[in-house]
Amino acid sequence: QKEVEQDPGPLSVPEGAIVSLNCTYSNSAFQYFMWYRQYSRKGPELLMYTYSSGNKEDGRFTAQVDKSSKYISLFIRDSQPSDSATYLCAMSAWGSGGYQKVTFGTGTKLQVIP
Amino acid sequence: NAGVTQTPKFQVLKTGQSMTLQCAQDMNHEYMSWYRQDPGMGLRLIHYSVGAGITDQGEVPNGYNVSRSTTEDFPLRLLSAAPSQTSVYFCASRNGQSYEQYFGPGTRLTVT
């Protein structure tokens, strides 16, 4: 079993829809939870991060973490064609040597149809 | 501030050839990593370095070598290319105590 599971999609939604992207994980040691956005033929870029359970909002994006269920979500409100990308969840925990060890999900490909 | 740069952007190799993928960062980050990204597999860690002169293996290190002689540069060497190494390779850097990674634009490698 992978430490981080993510549905690969693809997910296709009409413009203006609310999008929900999810990941589950098995490692209780994960402390930081991140969402990266990757446009086609580009490197991933950090979109949002959270440290604790609960919600964090940034404009049209909301990141949600439920540590008791080992489940994280990213919600996109009023989705736009420019949101079309692959979204990767990532989680980190302290590894040996005092460094953060980051584990990525496989990514969900999102397409927003105008 | 260029961030993380990678060269080349594209490369085609024949089986058995060797090559070096270059990666450089100008943010004085101590931690640098190499990932490969394949469809359905996500980002898989090949090798990483926590500072000049210190490297370690990641999840899929076989067939690759790394060295880190300076803080800025972290080249990845393919010793004898195989078709299974056809992939997109990303270099990333961050502060060791941080979770936030900065990725380069990637190198698309095809091995025939």
- Residues A13, A108: contact at Cβ < 8 Å? no
First-to-final CA distance of chain B: 36
Task: Supply the pLDDT for residue A101.
Answer: 82
pLDDT of A36 above 80 = yes
Mean pLDDT of the region A46-59: 90
Q: Is B73 on the interface with A (CB under 8 A)?
A: no
Pick among A30, A32, A99, A101 to test the B interface (most B CBs inside 10 A): A99
Q: Is B103 on the interface with A (CB under 8 A)?
A: yes
Q: What is the pLDDT of residues A63-80, one digit of tens each?
A: 999 999 999 999 999 999
Task: Supply the pLDDT for residue B47.
Answer: 95
Mean pLDDT of the region A20-33: 94
Task: Supply the pLDDT for residue B108.
Answer: 97
| Single-letter code of the amino acid located at A90 | A
Task: Supply the pLDDT for residue B42.
Answer: 85
Residue by residue, what is the 3-state secondary structure of chain A? CCCEEECCCCEEEECCCCEEEEEEECCCCCCEEEEEEECCCCCCEEEEEECCCEEEEECCEEEEEECCCCEEEEEECCCCHHHCEEEEEEEEEECCCCCEEEEECCCEEEEEEC
Please give the helix or strand (H or E) that residue B3 lies within, else none.
none
Whole-angstrom Cα distance, residue B106 to residue A106?
17
Task: Supply the pLDDT for residue A37.
Answer: 97
pLDDT tier at A9, thresholds 50, 70, 90:
confident
Mean pLDDT of the region A38-67: 93
pLDDT of A53 above 90 = no
CA-nearest residue of chain A to B39? A106
pLDDT tier at A2, thresholds 50, 70, 90:
confident
In A53-82, the residues whose Cβ lies within 8 Å of chain B are none
- Residue numbers in chain B where pLDDT is lower than 70: none
pLDDT tier at A20, thresholds 50, 70, 90:
very high
Q: Is A97 on the interface with B (CB under 8 A)?
A: yes
Task: Supply the pLDDT for residue A59.
Answer: 96
Q: Is B96 on the interface with A (CB under 8 A)?
A: yes
pLDDT above 70 covers a percentage of chain A that reads: 98
Q: Which residues of A touch B46 (CB under 8 A)?
A: none
Q: Is A88 on the interface with B (CB under 8 A)?
A: yes
CA dihedral in degrees (A84, A31, A70, A33; nearest 10)? -10
The average confidence (pLDDT) of chain A is: 92
Structure-model confidence comparison of residues A93 and A65, the more confident one = A65
pLDDT of A114 above 90 = yes
